[in-house]
Amino acid sequence: MKSTKVDKIFLGIVLALTLGGIVMFVSASLGILAKNEAKFYGVLMSQLLFGLLGGFIAMYLATRIPYKFWREYSLIIFIASLLLTALVFVPHIGFAHGGARRWINIFGVSIQPVEFLKVGFIIYFAAWLSWVKTKVRDMKWGILPLVIFIALIGGLLLKQPDTKSVILMAVSAFAMLFVSGVSYKHIFIMISVCLVGAAMLVSVTPYLRDRVNTFLHPSHDPSGSSYQLQQSLIAIGSGGIFGRGLGQSIQKFNYLPEPQGDSIFAVIGEELGLVGCIALILLYISYAFRGYKIAYYSPDSFSKLLVVGFITLFITQSFMNIASIIGVFPLTGVPLVFISQGGTSLMIALGAMGIILNVSQSQKKV
């Protein structure tokens, strides 16, 4: 038997994360209001209209589109996402912010194209793995294509620079390879090569070295490279068990850098306390378990790999953010999915959830 309705539990979890995230986003953004009223309303409108409204529209449409559509056009989608990402290097279209060139401006709208690339890559890699089937156990059909894809993507992203997105796509791809039945030996070899490559990249990249040094020595430069981590820990620590109360954060005013962005988990910790942080983490864990359950009962290999890729991407990104804010992982700058500032990120994430919900309509029931 097959289900004909979307997975309501998964939908409920996504809505809880998104709507609760908007509440926390508005609260965290009050730190901007105190300094620049015009910027506050600009950020708020971008998140609500482009991210939330656009995201819900994208999710609804994706729920209505048969998931097999994405397999049929996977190569076109992947190539289009690569070309869109390459636009960041085109004068008068791409622009830099904070020392990174990751954005494009189209008709006055700021877009971060790597968010499209993440989804485009997962769609295409799921299609590839479902096409090669059992041949994935042969290195030339499984590991080697992944090396080529990651090298192509890395060539675009490391120049921006955007190391974190390369890591996220690689982790998602490993999860998809694991599910597809690739040899454990090949995965071990690939992970070892990636770790060696990452160590070499850190050794030759100054900003990555600084982040690793900050992680290893968090108190070394509290007014410089360790500033964000120190202020985040102060915010979370001052929240105690139950928090100061919604909207009552002090650190979001002139202390936490990007309180509505990378540091939003620290604001959540300060306002909602340990209880709020645990509740949020449990919500993300529920999201992952329910998503992987949908993948387990998916009707075919493509849909299974697609759901695994999306869930792994977004749950890894979320826990990378949380781990970096509490100091158990180097600062990455990745947003907290469904919550942090980023209209493009929120819209694409909700659109991907629509694809998962469409798969859930066809999942096998026992």
The structural domain count of the chain equals: 1
Cα–Cα distance, 209 to 12 (Å, whole number): 41
* pTM for the structure as a whole: 0.93
Residue 120 vs residue 186, higher pLDDT: 120
Q: Taken in order 286, 287, 290, 293, is the CA torsion positive or negative?
A: negative
Q: Taken in order 80, 81, 84, 86, is the CA torsion positive or negative?
A: negative
User: Whose CA is closest to 162, among 225, 98, 213, 218?
Assistant: 98
Q: Read off the pLDDT of residues 92-122 as tens digits, 9 standing for 90 and up.
A: 888 877 667 888 887 777 888 999 999 999 9
Domain with 66, as residue range(s), is 8-360
Q: Read off the pLDDT of residues 76-96 as tens digits, 9 standing for 90 and up.
A: 999 999 999 999 888 888 887
| Residue 308 resides in a domain | yes
What is the percentage of the chain residues whose pLDDT exceeds 90? Answer: 50
3-class secondary-structure state, position 137: helix
Looking at residue 22, its pLDDT comes to 94
| Residue 2 resides in a domain | no
| Residue 114 resides in a domain | yes
Which of 338-365 are b and which e, b meaning 16 or more Cβ less than 10 Å from the residue's Cβ? bbbbbbbbbbbbbbbbbbbbbbbbbbee
Q: Read off the pLDDT of residues 19-33 as tens digits, 9 standing for 90 and up.
A: 999 999 999 988 887
Give the mean pLDDT of 247-254. Answer: 88
Element (H, E) at 94: strand 94-97
| Residue 365 resides in a domain | no
| Residue 282 resides in a domain | yes
Write the CA distances from 182 to 107, 175, 308, 310, integer angstroms: 44, 10, 15, 19
pLDDT, the chain, mean = 88
Q: How confident is the model at residue 75 (pLDDT cuts 50, 70, 90)?
A: very high
| Residue 3 resides in a domain | no
Q: Read off the pLDDT of residues 125-145 as tens digits, 9 standing for 90 and up.
A: 999 999 988 777 777 787 888
Looking at residue 216, its pLDDT comes to 75
Looking at residue 164, its pLDDT comes to 87
Residue 116 vs residue 5, higher pLDDT: 116
| Residue 332 resides in a domain | yes
The DSSP-derived string for 285-321 is: HHHHHHHHHHHHT-SSHHHHHHHHHHHHHHHHHHHHH
Residue 102 vs residue 239, higher pLDDT: 239
CB 249 within 8 A of CB 235: yes
| Residue 366 resides in a domain | no
